[in-house]
Structures are given as C-alpha cells and as structure tokens.
Amino acid sequence: MTQTILITGPSLAPAAADVLTAAGYQPVYVPAYTTGHGLIDIVHAANPVGILARMGRVDEPVFAAAPRLQVVSKHGAGVDNIDTDAAARRGIPVLNAAGANAVSVAEQTIALMFAVAKKVIPLDRGLRDGRWDKPGFQGRELAGSALGLVAFGAIARQTARFAKGLGLSVSAYDPYTPAEIFAAEGVEQVQDLDVLFANCDILSLHCPLTASTKDLVNAERLSRMKPDAIIINTARGGLIDETALANALRDGRIFGAGLDTFAQEPPPADHPFWSEPRLVLSPHIGGVTTAANLRVGLEAAQGIVDVLAGRTVSETRIVNRAKLSISA
C-alpha cells in the first residue's frame, strides 16, 4: 500500500515534494483552507502517515480520521493551527521549521514599518485619484526611532539586524531568551513588557500565540503607547485585540499599524479594519517568498521523512515533546 503525506495546502516547493517522493511517499494536496466534512473526507481517503501542515486547522477530528498518522510537520514556525496537545495524547510528535523563513518575515516587518510611517498607501491612492498631496504633507524620518520587539527568536533577531542597519535603536522583551543572546546582537533586554510598550516608537510582535499571549495588545497597553507609535504584526493575529486597535486608530491614539496576520483569516467583510486609512494590511504572506518556501518546505518535509525512518530529530524542533505520551 502506498504511504501518503497530506499537505494541507495546494502546493509545496518542488524540491520539498521531491524529498517526500524520493523517500517513497506520495504527496496528497488539500485545497487552501478546506474545513469540515470536506477536509475529513480527504483525510479519510488519503489515510496519511504524515501531515505537512500549511493552511487551515489540524486537530482531533483530523487525527481521528488518520489512524496511520505518525508525525505532523508545520510549514513554518507557529503551530497555533495544530492541536499539539491532541497530537501528544496520540503519541504524534509535532515539528516546526523555526527560523527557516526568518529573513523573509523580517523583510515584511520592515516593509510594513516603512509603508505605515511614510504613508505609502494613501499617497499612492491620492495620486491615482488625481490629487497632488505634497502641499501640507509632513513626512516622518525613522532613523533614530526606538523599535521594541516582543519576543527575540530568529525572526525578531533578523528584524533587529535590519533595523539597526537603518539607524533605529532596538530593545526587546523575551523572558525565555538568555541575556548573552541580547548582548551578542547588541539589543537592549527589557524586563517589563509594559515598559516596552510605553517607551518604543515602533512595536513589532514576534511571539507565538498561546493562552497567555492572546490579546497581548489590548486597550490598556495601547493607552500606554506614544500617540505617534506604530504597531507591526507579522506573527499571529490573535496577539492583538482587534477591536481595541481599531478604536485606538479611530481616535488617533496611535499613529498607525501594519498587519500581516489577523484573528480570523481571511477577515470578515464587515471588519472595522477595512475603513481605517492608517492601516497597511497584507494577507499573511510575510514568509511566502520563493526562497523561504524552499527552505521551510525542505525542512518540514525532511522532518517527516526522518521521523518515519526512525532517525533522530532535534529536540528543539519537536514542539510538543514534553507532552508526548510516548518517547518521541
């Protein structure tokens, strides 16, 4: 019987797909964001031994429909779309590819920062509508600004390197990262998250979405920020209380925001963000570049092949190792 690997998305970098086929596995692709009975029917039919998770949720109903499943590998770093606890109860390790898309996501962070600060979107729109908005326009220089990073993993560190090269000072809050890493990167370690919110000119989110980080950016913290502050989010939408952010922007309590992720993806048609001109939005594509897709895809695919072959996988890649009911 052919062993299949389910890819919860319509495509995979060809070289990554080759890793699977060279090891004797057949990739089975799922249309983007397939949910409900449609997804379960595909899982039943494929009966995969591995899942390469891209788009949509992978949870207990999926696991129940895949009795041969032995490993789930995330096409990226964040695993909030995977029920890692449910996987652990079934003895299924969940891997991620942290850091493989760091450069691309960091570039998107910087791009959003400049687009918001320089008002690129409204100026472009004005020209297309026949306006010449130069009279009365006052621009903003970012060099010398203070960038605050929430978390200091691979993407945040790369963002810091780019930002320092552009003349920004950088500080970060991350109680899980050793002080020597901050020192090596030349980044100030801030011990109090609320202090970071109050002191930075630009706040950029890079932490995972967990029960403790949900709505980390809320009305209270927004009230602590400078009125000309900018928020950038290329991590997970659920980190922000979107109603609170929309209200802060509407009332002019912060300068603007650049968002690549949302609590619901795609956001609903009646979302308050659509009417806010100080927002720059992109559809969760920070890591979707040819280079990053290749690196992430190769790492995610190789992780599946290694687990199925019984080879050792780095403990740092198994995100639910501590909760596995059997040895990973």
> Could you report the per-residue pLDDT of 245-271, keeping only the tens digit for each?
999 999 999 999 999 999 999 999 999
Which range marks the domain in which residue 257 is found?
139-279
Res. 108: pLDDT tops 90: yes
| Same domain flag for 263 and 313 | no
| Same domain flag for 239 and 293 | no
Residue 43 covered by a domain: yes
What 3-state class would DSSP assign to 246? helix
Res. 328: pLDDT tops 60: no
Residue 24 covered by a domain: yes
Q: Report the pLDDT value the prediction gives residue 325, as an integer from 0 to 100.
A: 54
Q: Report the pLDDT value the prediction gives residue 1, as an integer from 0 to 100.
A: 67
Question: Each residue of 41-87: pLDDT tens digit?
Answer: 999 999 999 999 999 899 999 999 999 999 999 998 889 899 999 99
| pLDDT classification of 327: cutoffs 50, 70, 90 | very low
Residue 292 covered by a domain: yes
Instruction: Give the lowest-confidence range in 3-7, 81-85, 324-328.
Output: 324-328
Q: 271 catalytic, yes or no?
A: no
| Same domain flag for 86 and 195 | no
* Pick from 11, 66, 21, 69: nearest CA to 39: 66
| Same domain flag for 32 and 158 | no
Determine the Cα–Cα distance for residues 288 and 299; give it in Å rounded to an integer. Answer: 15
Per-residue tokens: 163: 């930002």
Per-residue tokens: 42: 């595909």
Residue 164 covered by a domain: yes
Q: Report the pLDDT value the prediction gives residue 326, as an integer from 0 to 100.
A: 43
Per-residue tokens: 166: 């552009």
| Same domain flag for 148 and 254 | yes
Q: Of 265, 276, 278, 321, which one is the catalytic site residue?
A: 265
- Whether residue 205 contacts residue 150, with contact meaning beta carbons closer than 8 Å, is answered with yes
Determine the Cα–Cα distance for residues 289 and 233; give it in Å rounded to an integer. Answer: 18
* Pick from 260, 255, 263, 222: nearest CA to 239: 263
Residue 68 covered by a domain: yes
Residue 316 Cα distances to 51, 208, 250, 307, 326, angstroms: 19, 15, 42, 14, 17
Question: Each residue of 214-227: pLDDT tens digit?
Answer: 999 999 999 999 99
Residue 324 or residue 214, greater confidence: 214
Radius of gyration of the chain (CA): 21
Q: For a pLDDT cut of 70, what percent of the chain falls above it?
A: 98
Determine the Cα–Cα distance for residues 232 and 157; give it in Å rounded to an integer. Answer: 15
Residue 114 covered by a domain: no
Residue 181 covered by a domain: yes
| Same domain flag for 204 and 270 | yes
Please tell me the pTM assigned to this model. Answer: 0.87
Residue 44 covered by a domain: yes
| Same domain flag for 71 and 170 | no
Res. 242: pLDDT tops 80: yes
Q: Of 284, 295, 299, 317, which one is the catalytic site residue?
A: 284
Q: Report the pLDDT value the prediction gives residue 225, as an integer from 0 to 100.
A: 98
Q: Provide the number of structural domains found in the chain.
A: 2
| Same domain flag for 292 and 273 | no
Cis peptide before 266, with omega less than 30 degrees from 0?
A: yes
Residues in the chain, overall count: 328
Q: 265 catalytic, yes or no?
A: yes
Instruction: Give the lowest-confidence range in 37-41, 77-81, 184-188, 203-207.
Output: 77-81
Q: Report the pLDDT value the prediction gives residue 78, as an integer from 0 to 100.
A: 86
| Same domain flag for 265 and 296 | no
Residues 6+ apart with CB under 8 A from 301: 5, 12, 16, 17, 19, 20, 52, 73
Determine the Cα–Cα distance for residues 311 and 290; give it in Å rounded to an integer. Answer: 28
Res. 33: pLDDT tops 60: yes
Q: Of 54, 75, 206, 236, which one is the catalytic site residue?
A: 236
Which neighbouring-strand residues pair with 53? 74
| Same domain flag for 245 and 316 | no
> At 31, which CATH number?
3.40.50.720
- Whether residue 58 contacts residue 72, with contact meaning beta carbons closer than 8 Å, is answered with yes
What 3-state class would DSSP assign to 150? strand
Q: 141 catalytic, yes or no?
A: no
